[in-house]
Structure 1
């Protein structure tokens, strides 16, 4: 999965807050935020989800 900062949240997106995620997913989000890296897909997040962390990040899972 990858994270992309987004300025707008689509009305149909599922928004997850960082503190709602399990510890492993929180660690992955913190590692990937603002970095061009990938991590294994998380069971907590799906493609198109938006995570509210320091900014809003859209999840890309492929």
Structure 2
């Protein structure tokens, strides 16, 4: 996983709606470090450093659909 030096943080938010223009990533397509971040952030009110491959607005299919928010 490559961390960006933007200082932005990722948060995952469960979503029941996947926007038509969203890039959908499946959990098993992510590298090991990104999978770990998804496991840690799913359903938790915490953040992690922004990664090189998950962008604001992306949707990750894990145990449910989670929208990536980067701030």
- TM-score, structure 2 as length reference: 0.86
Aligned pairs, how many? 62
Provide the rounded CA distance (Å) in 2 between the counterparts of 1:18 and 1:42: 14
Give the superposition deviation at 1:42. 1.0
Q: TM-score, normalised by structure 1?
A: 0.98
In structure 1, runs of 5+ residues without a counterpart are none
Which runs of 4 or more aligned residues in structure 1 lie more than 6 Å from their structure 2 counterparts after TM superposition?
none
Larger Rg: 2
RMSD: 0.4
Where 1:58 maps in the other structure, the secondary structure is strand
